[in-house]
Amino acid sequence: MINKRVFTDTKDKLIKINILVVSSFLIIFSLFTFFYFQSITYNSIDDKLKEEYEYISIQVNRSSYLNPIVLNDPRDLVYIYKDDRLIYYTKSDYFEAYIPPEESDNTNICFTYKEGNYTFRELSVTINNVKIRIIRNIDSELSSLKQLLFVIGIGIVFSIVITYFVALYLTRKALSPIENAWYTQAKFIQDASHELRTPITIVSSKLQSLLTVPNNTINDEVETIADAMNETRRLKKMIKDLLSLSKEDAIIQLNLEEVNISDLLEEIYRDYADIATIQNKLLKYENNLTNSLIKTDKNKLKQLLLIFIDNAFKYTNINDEVRFKLDERDNKIICTIMDTGIGIKESDLHHIFDRFFRSDNVRNMDMDGSGIGLSIAKMISVNLNCKIKPYSVLDEGSKFEIVIPREIS
């Protein structure tokens, strides 16, 4: 439950950060675009007002009733003052009644002001007691700018909504492997503690049973003590395996060297020949290699092969056969470890590499082991670039093919 909340909180945070970053960029970019267009618009109006001024200033001295002032752009309003006396103003249906405010002392600059419902831009120039004011209604330009602002606003909202969904998708995709690793780890701890509990419970119950018979001698209770010792041995092996599993998980440090795989298998064969004799089992070794040299981590490869060989001996009965075989295929070495033992159910074959998995028949037979061996083998095989192919028929036997590359790439 807590883990779920950690992931939901992280997802929420990542989404918020994404939206914040994207919307900040969008807003900055939009404001820049808007102010850029606004300045272009005002510059173009000012240029036109200046053009108008040039056009009129030529006419000012020549104007008379017969020769009235003509405007370049009929949209402009022109007011001409001589010695502060209005000597000319443009007649317009639209602006007829309008006399611009006198308070502005600006000369030679363009400025904007509002009058009633209208907005104007004015250029006021004074030369030798003559003041020329050119005024233009800029409502249409302002309305275009407002429209631009509206479109930008809609664009920002739309982009934020899209960003939200994209961020949601990407965050889920990015977090899912971490989430999976987290849950696998949690399951591993659960399984490990469950598996460790069984031997500890047995040991404590055996010790408790000893307490109920304080007058008995060690000889009387030898069986109980042996059982407890067996369980502690099991516990010790399990802890060792768990440790090697976690180490394998953490560091993948390979010690690569030239290895003669035939020599390695022969060495293992010699070690197990005695065990086979003691257990009344048949051990065979076949080598079909022409070139036995490979480059790999010798210790890890030996550890890998021993896990399968150990299983082959563990899951066979008296008079059963265990066989190792070395072959060559596509410039790869195939090491086959076969046995004519108890075999594995087809439905179990997919699970044998899972941590703590043991077939029901094996659990019922109360055989030594904790179901970690093959999961360690799987990890080593990944490190050594090997492939493992399991084949098995229940009650007939098992075969594990380990495909070993000549060199780890």
Ligand X SMILES: Nc1ncnc2c1ncn2[C@@H]1O[C@H](COP(=O)(O)OP(=O)(O)OP(=O)(O)O)[C@@H](O)[C@H]1O
| Residue 371 contacts Mg ion per CB under 5 A | no
Helix (H) / strand (E) containing 39: helix 2-59
Please pick, from the candidates 245, 359, 384, 388, the single residue that binds ligand X as defined by CB under 6 A: 359
Cβ neighbors of 320 (< 8 A, separation 6 or more) are: 281, 282, 339, 340, 341, 397
Q: Minimum Å distance from CB 250 to ligand X?
A: 19
| Residue 373 contacts Mg ion per CB under 5 A | yes
- Among positions 177-196, residues that touch Mg ion (CB under 5 A) are none
Q: Helices 373-383 and 222-250: crossing angle, nearest 10°?
A: 20
Q: How far is CA 67 from the centre of its chain?
A: 80
Distance CA 293, CA 372 (A): 30
Considering the complex, state which of residue 78 and residue 235 has its C-beta at the smaller distance from ligand X.
Answer: 235
> With CB under 6 A as the contact rule, which of the stretches 114-122, 188-196, 277-285, 372-380 interacts with ligand X?
372-380
| Residue 171, binding choice from ligand X, Mg ion, none, Cβ under 5 to 8 Å by partner class | none
Q: Minimum Å distance from CB 179 to ligand X?
A: 26
| Residue 370, binding choice from Mg ion, ligand X, none, Cβ under 5 to 8 Å by partner class | ligand X
| Residue 374-393 contact track with ligand X, rule CB under 6 A, x = bound | x-------------------
Considering the complex, state which of residue 84 and residue 366 has its C-beta at the smaller distance from ligand X.
Answer: 366
| Residue 199, binding choice from Mg ion, ligand X, none, Cβ under 5 to 8 Å by partner class | none
| Residue 352 contacts ligand X per CB under 6 A | yes
> With CB under 6 A as the contact rule, which of the stretches 114-122, 168-176, 217-225, 350-358 interacts with ligand X?
350-358
Please give the C-alpha separations between residue 155 and each of 15, 23, 148, 165, in angstroms, as whole numbers.
Answer: 19, 11, 10, 16
Considering the complex, state which of residue 171 and residue 381 has its C-beta at the smaller distance from ligand X.
Answer: 381
| Residue 311 contacts ligand X per CB under 6 A | yes
What Rg value do the Cα atoms of the chain yield, rounded?
46
> With CB under 6 A as the contact rule, which of the stretches 27-35, 68-76, 77-85, 340-348 interacts with ligand X?
340-348
Distance CA 396, CA 387 (A): 23
- Among positions 282-341, residues that touch Mg ion (CB under 5 A) are 311
| Residue 242 contacts ligand X per CB under 6 A | no
| Residue 312 contacts ligand X per CB under 6 A | yes
What is the biggest distance separating any 2 CA atoms in the chain, rounded to whole angstroms?
Answer: 144
> With CB under 6 A as the contact rule, which of the stretches 21-29, 101-109, 276-284, 356-364 interacts with ligand X?
356-364
Query: Which residue, chain included where needed, has tokens 């981590």?
Result: 297
Distance CA 340, CA 313 (A): 10
> With CB under 5 A as the contact rule, which of the stretches 152-160, 168-176, 179-187, 365-373 interacts with Mg ion?
365-373
Considering the complex, state which of residue 134 and residue 374 has its C-beta at the smaller distance from ligand X.
Answer: 374
Q: Which amino acid is at 246?
A: S
| Residue 305, binding choice from Mg ion, ligand X, none, Cβ under 5 to 8 Å by partner class | none
192: left (phi over 0), alpha (psi -120 to 50) or beta: alpha
CB-count exposure of residue 404 (10 Å: 0-12, 13-18, 19+): buried
Please pick, from the candidates 373, 381, 388, 404, the single residue that binds ligand X as defined by CB under 6 A: 373
The residue sitting closest to ligand X, measured at its beta carbon, is 373
Residue 321 and residue 260 in contact, taking contact as beta carbons nearer than 8 Å: no
| Residue 241 contacts ligand X per CB under 6 A | yes
Residue 283 and residue 269 in contact, taking contact as beta carbons nearer than 8 Å: yes
| Residue 248 contacts ligand X per CB under 6 A | no
Q: How far is CA 45 from the centre of its chain?
A: 53
| Residue 199 contacts ligand X per CB under 6 A | no
> With CB under 6 A as the contact rule, which of the stretches 12-20, 114-122, 179-187, 335-343 interacts with ligand X?
335-343
Q: What does the block give as tokens for 365?
A: 């037979």
Query: Which residue, chain included where needed, has tokens 């249409």?
Result: 140
Cβ neighbors of 132 (< 8 A, separation 6 or more) are: 53, 56, 57, 60, 78, 79, 80, 124, 125, 126
Q: Which residues bind Mg ion (CB under 5 A)?
A: 311, 373
Give the binding site for ligand X (CB under 6 A): 241, 311-312, 314-315, 339, 341-344, 352, 357-359, 362, 369-374, 398
